[in-house]
Amino acid sequence: MDSLQTPLTLPNGSVLSNRIAKSAMSENLSTKDHKPTPVLIGAYRKWASSGAGLLITGNVMVDVKAIGEPRNVVVEDRSNMALLKEWAATTDGTDTQLWVQVNHPGRQAMEQVNKTLKAPSAVPLKTSGRKDATGKIPEAMTEAEILHAIDAFGNTALILKEAGFAGVQIHGAHGYLVSQFLSPDANVRTDRWGGSLENRARFVVEIYRKMRALVGADFPIGIKLNSADFQKGGFSEEESMEVVKILSREGIDLIEISGGTYEAPAMMGKRKASTVKREVYFMEYIEKARKITDTPLMLTGGFRTASVMRDAVASDQLDVVGVARPFTVYPNIGHEILGGSRTSFPTDIQKTGVKGIDGFMGLIWYEAQIKRLGQGKEPDPKLNAWLVFINYVWLILLGKFGGGK
């Protein structure tokens, strides 16, 4: 049997119908006040028939006072239950599970959207690579604020379960709050939340336990975790392996591996020659992680050919193939891979030739494709980069960025 077509039973007994997963991509398609829009829901209606066993949404915020991007959905109470139910129902009648990625950006939040930035410690980002993530000094969270954030993650997971989503994923990667707590560089606390790895991992462990207590044993909870932060003094590969062990012992259902932060964006950036040869990022890491845990592993970053995906699962290096950018231009990718009608999924975006703009294009070009899907249009692999950029700036100026009012 095709390795990718083999169902996967998660530790809690829930079954993924195949090994292809859409990894999280921030859609930036909420209303101004952070509700899901018909365009956002439309994109998931499209992806529900992609043939993937698992769809993970773009990051949804747990607290309206801590928002990563201006049009992120926030789920902190039940006021938008009808919309959440509609979103969750997009996969009804299919073999696809829809999970929501839940996140708190910590110091990687936009200054323009958040009055204050909260983080484990008052350590600013070292980069101004993104204009919206300049080195503003965050406020170190108090004990009460940390406990409040843990409760917020749990509360959001419970509401999402009630809305009908099939599972949740904690965003523990890419330099957001959970990943800031894990990093000895961003977290220089001297209390029980900082210092030793056990202390730095306490935040994510408590989030997991809070969620589990609220959603029960049967509801899938996963995490996206960095293999490393790729920074001197940051969260290292050895520490990441330890966190894999800790979370496995706790009973987490799926560990997705990625890597990097805004300071060193390894999740989408340039790759080492050895990695390019094997197509996929973080492959060496996953092979090592495989030896230390029985928890299902998902790997995301760089998968573009069906044969590489198939071999990775067949050789038992990983359990689930995570794919992000190709889903925006090949919305039927699951069926195409499994049926063999397409074997390669390149995502060569159009560029403007202006370095500053093209860095940005690596996000907004894909967001523009997601918006097209949500509007019922076909993807446009030739979508002009200048048009995307001008449209983006124009909508922001008009205050109409996102998926609706």
Long-range Cβ pairs for the range 334-340 (8 Å, 24+): 334/18, 334/20, 334/50, 334/51, 334/52, 334/53, 335/50, 335/51, 336/51, 337/4, 337/20, 337/51, 337/306, 337/309, 338/2, 338/4, 338/5, 338/18, 338/20, 338/51, 339/51, 340/306
Cβ distance to ligand FMN smaller for residue 174 or 372? 174
Q: How far is the CB of 226 from ligand FMN (least distance, A)?
A: 10
Nearest to ligand FMN of 194, 337 (CB atom) = 337
The DSSP call for residue 320 is E
CB of 265 to ligand FMN, least distance (A): 9
CB of 180 to ligand FMN, least distance (A): 14
Task: List residues binding ligand FMN (CB under 6 A).
Answer: 23-26, 58-59, 101, 171, 173-174, 224, 258, 267-268, 300-303, 323-325, 363, 366-367
Q: How far is the CB of 191 from ligand FMN (least distance, A)?
A: 28
- Cα dihedral 275, 278, 279, 281 sign: negative
Q: Which is nearer to ligand FMN, 19 or 325 (CB)?
A: 325
- In the bound state with ligand FMN, the residue whose beta carbon lies nearer, of 191 and 311, is 311
Following DSSP, what letter does each residue of 86-119 receive, concatenated?
HHHGGGTTSS-EEEEEEE--TTSS-TTT-SS-EE
Q: Which is nearer to ligand FMN, 194 or 392 (CB)?
A: 392
Local structure of 300: helix, strand or coil: strand
Place of tokens 């406990």: 147
Work out how close the CB of 200 gets to ligand FMN at its nearest, in angstroms, rounded to a whole number.
20
**Strand pairing class (20-22; 15-16):** unpaired
Nearer to ligand FMN, 194 or 345 (CB): 345
Q: How far is the CB of 162 from ligand FMN (least distance, A)?
A: 22
